[in-house]
């Protein structure tokens, strides 16, 4: 996968994350906690921590980490002109998600989470979180796929 395609996909992931957060805020102001699909509920939360509220109220630290991770990913992407498919996709999803949540931290001091799975007790999340998890899944899948038996 070419570097410019990875950067472009990252931008699309970032853009989708930001648009869904804006829509969630607007929908939530019109309707109090609507159910979007049978098992997904809109529940707007200002998350000052990382995943599962780890490092709660450590916005400055998390902002710096997201900036560093984003810069490192961009350098890694631009160092080679071509990346294997799964590596390129994982970089794209990880960069897009990291920038999406990082921008929230820098602008607002928190990350806007809004997707709640019902009826299970699972932390509320957003599309950037989904993207980061997709990236991790792709990295793990690629490692197992390339493992020699």
Residue of 17, 104, 129, 142 marked active site: 129
Phi-psi region for residue 41, left (φ > 0), alpha (ψ -120 to 50) or beta?
A: beta
> Any residues with CB less than 8 A from the CB of 80 and at least 6 apart, and which?
3
What is the rounded distance in angstroms from the CA atom of residue 53 to the CA atom of residue 76? 28
Instruction: State yes or no: is 17 an active-site residue.
Output: no
- Chain centroid to Cα 79, Å, comes to 23
Which two tokens mark 49? 């921590």
Q: Strand, coil or helix: what is 74?
A: helix
Which of these, 37, 14, 12, 35, lies nearest to 126 by C-alpha position?
A: 14
Q: Strand, coil or helix: what is 2?
A: strand
| Catalytic residue ranges | 113, 129
């Amino acid at each position: 996968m070419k570097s410019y395609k990875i950067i472009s996909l990252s931008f699309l992931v970032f853009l989708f994350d930001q648009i869904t957060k804006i829509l969630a805020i607007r929908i939530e102001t019109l309707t109090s906690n609507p159910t979007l699909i049978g098992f997904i509920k809109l529940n707007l939360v200002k998350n000052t921590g990382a995943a599962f509220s780890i490092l709660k109220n450590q916005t400055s630290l998390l902002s710096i980490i997201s900036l560093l991770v984003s810069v490192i990913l961009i350098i890694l992407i631009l160092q080679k002109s071509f990346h294997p498919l799964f590596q390129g996709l994982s970089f794209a999803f990880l960069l897009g998600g990291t920038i999406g949540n990082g921008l929230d931290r820098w602008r607002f001091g928190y990350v806007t989470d809004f997707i709640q799975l019902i009826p299970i007790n699972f932390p509320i999340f957003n599309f950037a979180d989904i993207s980061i998890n997709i990236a991790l899944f792709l990295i793990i899948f690629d490692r197992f796929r390339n493992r020699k038996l």
